[in-house]
Structure 1
Amino acid sequence: MAGVNAMEKKLAEYKCDTNEAICLKLVRFPEDVDDEGTSFHPEYSHQLYGDDEVAFGYKGLQIQLYYSAGSLTTLFKVKYSSKVTEKFECVEPDDVEGKIREIIPQGFCGNTDDFISLLEKEANFKPFGNLIHTYSIHNEEAGEDITYQIHKVELASSGFREYHGRLQTFLMWFIETASFIDVDDDRWDFFLVFEKYNKDGETLFATVGYMTVYNYYVYPDKTRPRVSQMLILPPFQGEGHGAQLLETVHRFYCNSPKVQDITAEDPSENYVKLRDFVLVKLCQALQSFSADKISLGFSEDMAIEAQEKLKINKKHARRVYEILRLRATDMSNEEVARAYRLEVKKRLFGPYKKNQRELTKMRKCLRPEELASQVSQMDTQLQHEELERGYQDVLGEYRRIIERLARA
């Protein structure tokens, strides 16, 4: 038994955290390749390496996935200090290389020198598609304004399909439930963000992030663009690019009379926060959302104007109203604060009322013990506590949006 435990301890030394082992990099200059300060790591690797995100069979495992900053030409190498088969003949290591090969397109470099030589061709890389928005962000470290461009891209653009195949590999590392899309469907729209930078007097472009949008058909002659994937690459996160991209895409679709409204597929918590900020920023300029109208409560005029001018559905328009109403409310005034609280809670109470209606319908077909179980789940006191928690959560979210608006 002691021998078995000793063996287990020895084998445990060959387990590696794949989130730490995978090293990602966006390379602009040859010296970036050996600069550990330019590396970043995945948030997730479970889709390739299992829920425990562990690779077995190696010590000192490093999976290098380096991309040229613009065209995303890829260097892929696997390094380790020792392998389990060198010590234990009967034990097989995980095929860590094969897992990566499942998601990265063919044509990658396996040699650092070849990769560095290809960096010289980055000067030939130009953003795909049509330029639809340009903006600048001041970089404190560089002491200058950096220019960024957002492009709307057609799948048929020369070289874009191959480029997109490399770009979408980042989804696996930073979106928990990511999946690759069927690029042969012409209802997909692609929006890309690029940074302009200089190298030896030449203007080059670096990939910052992107968004994919699927255009659903709405009877009889409309479409409903649904945001599917959105990712700002980690070196650029926290700089405001997500808001710039979402607002630009929203304005792009607002110009089309064929668009019914704009939605998102299974939005993450971070995406909802970003959408709140962008939609409030857009709606505050509408007449129906003016300060004097906000104080009168949510109206059908708000829902109609938000839908017609900004392609925002009624549910999202109501959320925008609540944020703007909070901004205009003196929460130190007990009476107005109570009015605001009751209005938000009335909306939050909607699901509970629906459950009560369903319970009424079920009374005829439920056995007594089943009915008692359902009733206990809807205890009035529990409802009040749940509503209060929900209200406080919403209040916290709204205040963060208002603070960001003030900074903007």
Structure 2
Amino acid sequence: MSARDFKPETWTSTANEALKISIVGENAIQFPPLFTYPIYGESEKIYGYKDLVIHLAFDSIAFKPYVNVKYSAKLEDNDVINVEEKLLSFLPKNDVIVKDEAKWVDSFMEEQKNHSLPDGFKTISEYSLGGEEFVVYKANLIDNYARMMHHRVQIFSLLFIEAANYIDEDDSNWDIFWLLNKKTKQLIGFVTTYKYWHYLGAKPFDENTDKKFRAKISQFLVFPPYQNKGHGSCFYDAIVQFWLKDESITEITVEDPNEAFDDLRDRNDLQRLRKMGFDATLRKHSELPDEFLESSRKSFKLEERQFKRLLEMLLLLNHSPSFELEVKKRLFIKNYDALSGIDPEEAKQALQNSFLLVRDDYSRILDSLNISEA
């Protein structure tokens, strides 16, 4: 052993670098995770191995998982975790091929040979992108095939969505939307969604009318090899259009969106409202009565926060004199406790600073759509 072997860094690996994820189709595409803390701890460090490499691979259609952990040396220490066992605990039991690559290839090739989606997968939309055709399906987790597929892909939620957790698959309110290449059958991404019962008041409840629901997007993921190609917008729009046609859905929500998804959502929602004529309708109103805004929000099935953001963006786009008033009114209400506790002039300046930040952010989103302020 050399002196270097006694240095802690020799035996410490960064989990995000050690874990190599691959999706194998005609070619194998390898990429790193964004997060490994749900599996290997908050520090995302792995101690006790030299030259550690963790291979986690899936075929591009059935997503049959394969694991192969390699290293040149391992410390004999009780504090050293079993890297392979730790990863396997997050993958479907008895459905993972470990180390035997030939067995894994034979296994997924056999699955692909007989690959067909069961009746529980309902087509909700199709779209063209880059000269190829794609299909969006919806399936409930009561479907055995949907549950098996979700077992295989759910680890991607932990690896690519911050603070994600595995969902309760025994709750029948969970639906999964699946995005596939129509010709190759390759799985492009998936979205977990949930329906909450929406209480609309005593009268509808007493009259036992049809139940109404809020629909929530929980985990939205396009696999890394297919990102930055336009699939996210097409996938999101397909789901929203499906819910807009569903009379049982009253409101569409998103669970803890990150900044990237917020941007995707804003762009697509904004374009949809303009196509539906809301932009033109706003130009006809010199004032914005609460009744008009609330009826508009409900017709678009938007939650209040998202509707107000879109309304403000459209007011900015139209150079409406109501823009600054609407933004500052919302900011004042949101920050009332903090603003009321400081000097009025300081509060006024703080409100102005916040307004300018909001305006600049809205301009950034409008610019990304090549929409100039009218």
TM-score by length of 1: 0.79
2:332 to 345, 349, 361: 349
Q: SS where residue 249 of structure 2 aligns?
A: coil
| Mapped partners of 2:235, 2:140: distance in 1 | 17
8 Å contact 1:125–1:204 — kept in the other structure? no
| 1:285–1:94 CA distance, 2 compared to 1 (3 A) | same
| 1:385–1:132 CA distance, 2 compared to 1 (3 A) | same
| 1:379–1:22 CA distance, 2 compared to 1 (3 A) | farther
8 Å contact 1:286–1:305 — kept in the other structure? no
Q: Give the C-alpha shift of residue 179 in structure 1.
A: 0.4
Q: SS where residue 296 of structure 1 aligns?
A: coil
Deviations 1:129-165 (A, max 9, x none): 0111111112xxxxxx122111111223342211110
1:265 to 241, 255, 267: 255
8 Å contact 1:65–1:75 — kept in the other structure? yes
Instruction: Name the structure 2 match of 1:296.
Output: 286
8 Å contact 2:57–2:67 — kept in the other structure? yes
* 1:151 equivalenced with 2:137 (yes/no): yes
Instruction: Name the structure 1 match of 2:275.
Output: 285
| Mapped partners of 1:109, 1:43: distance in 2 | 24
| 1:149–1:57 CA distance, 2 compared to 1 (3 A) | same
Q: Give the C-alpha shift of residue 291 in structure 1.
A: 6.0
| Mapped partners of 2:349, 2:67: distance in 1 | 53
Instruction: Name the structure 2 match of 1:26.
Output: 23
Q: Give the C-alpha shift of residue 354 in structure 1.
A: 4.9
| Comparing 60-69 and 296-305, the one that deviates more | 296-305
Deviations 1:281-322 (A, max 9, x none): 1111334431662663544324313312x2113432221111
2:71 to 69, 80, 90: 80
1:108 to 58, 74, 96: 96
Q: Give the C-alpha shift of residue 231 in structure 1.
A: 1.1
* 1:94 equivalenced with 2:81 (yes/no): yes
| Mapped partners of 1:13, 1:379: distance in 2 | 57
- AA matched with 1:10: K
* 1:212 equivalenced with 2:192 (yes/no): yes
Q: Give the C-alpha shift of residue 18 in structure 1.
A: 0.3
| Mapped partners of 1:51, 1:123: distance in 2 | 41
Instruction: Name the structure 1 match of 2:363.
Output: 399
Instruction: Name the structure 2 match of 1:66.
Output: 57
Instruction: Name the structure 2 match of 1:316.
Output: 306
| Mapped partners of 1:347, 1:355: distance in 2 | 14
Instruction: Name the structure 2 match of 1:118.
Output: 107
- AA matched with 1:18: A
| Mapped partners of 1:160, 1:115: distance in 2 | 21
| Mapped partners of 1:325, 1:294: distance in 2 | 12
| Comparing 97-106 and 66-75, the one that deviates more | 97-106
- AA matched with 2:109: E
- AA matched with 1:11: P
8 Å contact 1:127–1:205 — kept in the other structure? no
Instruction: Name the structure 2 match of 1:195.
Output: 181
| Mapped partners of 1:382, 1:15: distance in 2 | 50
| 1:204–1:339 CA distance, 2 compared to 1 (3 A) | closer
1:234 to 215, 224, 231: 224
- AA matched with 2:97: C
| Mapped partners of 2:17, 2:335: distance in 1 | 44
RMSD: 2.4
| Mapped partners of 1:227, 1:292: distance in 2 | 28
Deviations 1:92-112 (A, max 9, x none): 532211210110012211211
| Mapped partners of 1:225, 1:323: distance in 2 | 24
* 1:16 equivalenced with 2:13 (yes/no): yes
Q: SS where residue 176 of structure 1 aligns?
A: coil
| Mapped partners of 2:228, 2:370: distance in 1 | 17
Instruction: Name the structure 2 match of 1:386.
Output: 350
| Mapped partners of 1:157, 1:355: distance in 2 | 50
Instruction: Name the structure 1 match of 2:208.
Output: none
Q: Give the C-alpha shift of residue 243 in structure 1.
A: 1.5
8 Å contact 1:303–1:317 — kept in the other structure? no
| 1:404–1:44 CA distance, 2 compared to 1 (3 A) | same
Q: Give the C-alpha shift of residue 190 in structure 1.
A: 1.2
- AA matched with 2:307: A
- AA matched with 2:107: L
Structure 2 segments unaligned to the other structure (5+ residues)? 200-204, 206-210
* 1:54 equivalenced with 2:45 (yes/no): yes
8 Å contact 1:298–1:318 — kept in the other structure? no
Q: Give the C-alpha shift of residue 353 in structure 1.
A: 2.7
| 1:9–1:275 CA distance, 2 compared to 1 (3 A) | same
1:254 to 244, 247, 253: 244
| Mapped partners of 2:252, 2:193: distance in 1 | 10
| Mapped partners of 1:393, 1:65: distance in 2 | 42
8 Å contact 2:142–2:172 — kept in the other structure? no
| Mapped partners of 2:282, 2:187: distance in 1 | 44
8 Å contact 1:67–1:74 — kept in the other structure? yes
Q: Give the C-alpha shift of residue 226 in structure 1.
A: 1.5
Instruction: Name the structure 1 match of 2:122.
Output: 130
Q: Give the C-alpha shift of residue 22 in structure 1.
A: 0.5
8 Å contact 2:62–2:108 — kept in the other structure? no
